[in-house]
Amino acid sequence: MIDELREELRHRVSEPRRWAGSLRRLTFARAVQASNSIEGYNATLDDVVAAVDGDDVLDASAETASAVSGYRDAMTYVLQHAHDETAKVDEGLLKALHFMMIKHDLAKNPGRWRPGAIWVRREPEGAIVYEGPPSDEIPALIVEMIRELERSDAPVLFRAAVAHLNLVMIHPFSDGNGRMARALQTLVLAREQIVAPVFSSIEEYLGRNTQAYYDVLAQVGEGAWHPENDARPWVRFCLTAHYRQGRTHLRRVQEVEELWLASVALAERHRLPERAAAGLMDAAYGLRVRNARYRASVDFSSGEEISELTATRDLKAMVEAGLLTAVGERRGRFYVASDPLLQARQRIRAERPTKELADPFTRASEQLSLEI
């Protein structure tokens, strides 16, 4: 069932469509946002998209902005690494990714195995819920984890899930172990190239279901390093996440396509250049459109590079057309959606309501019973 979803998604996003670049950008931002939120670094989608674009964030704290930017750098490298067919997962790659994520806080030993014992505590009471293996065992455990990953002939969804589980249970770093495990899972999936790598991640699902994520790790780990334990509850959880995230991606593909067409129609009606649709769509999604963001959106959607002056003229024209509203002055100015855009987004979402998806294992069992 997951393979069917991924194949359908591959066909929908692989064709050259103007909206596909914006969809990939938002999907990447949501993954970065979700993985950091699990660790308590909460940023708005608007701020994460700004970080992805290399722009200044407006609302997040300095610490959160650093965490988001670090994870953006690591995940960008993961997606680039996935295109190298000769590249391997090794200790150097794991340490490099960790350094990218945590480099803003040298006290957390970025790029190094932890020097001593580590415990995971449950807030707010501070109870210890997990104790990692001794630090002197880390190098050998990492070598064995990589050996199992590279030699296994199991389907990629299983290999990726078990790599995530092993890394988070070894807990080799002083901080950032969860983010590293999720990044590793995305890397293993992305190397398959079944679908655009950014659509392989389940980090957004994990961010929406954080307690269930913690619960299944606690069930499998039982508070300490227990590699003899049954990993099937974890694998089942990950497969469910892939199925549900795949369904979410397909729904968004349809929504983004319709919203793009609506934005193009509004641009044509008000005699705006077609590239304005990229900025209109960002605004419709609730993002604050700044000059730099608009230029990035145009580049993502069409590969067209426009000047700061051209972007300023386009944005002014969209305000005069009643599609955007300007907020602030001069360098701090940004633009938000006006009623026509908001109404278009609301109409499209109402036509395709989000449904709570049934357990895919139950559905698969029912289908199997019918076939038998």
The answer on whether 214 is annotated among ligand-binding residues is: yes
182 is in an annotated binding site: yes
Is 176 labelled a binding residue? yes
The neighbour count for residue 372, using CB atoms within 10 Å, is 5
Is 181 within any annotated ligand binding site?
yes
105 is in an annotated binding site: no
**81, 164, 171, 249: which one is catalytic?**
171
Q: Is 242 a catalytic residue?
A: no
Rounded Cα distance between 210 and 221, Å, is 16
178 is in an annotated binding site: yes
The response to whether 179 counts as a known ligand-binding position is yes
Which residues are part of the catalytic machinery?
171
Q: Which residues are annotated as a binding site?
A: 175-182, 213-214
Q: Which residues are annotated as a binding site for ATP?
A: 175-182, 213-214
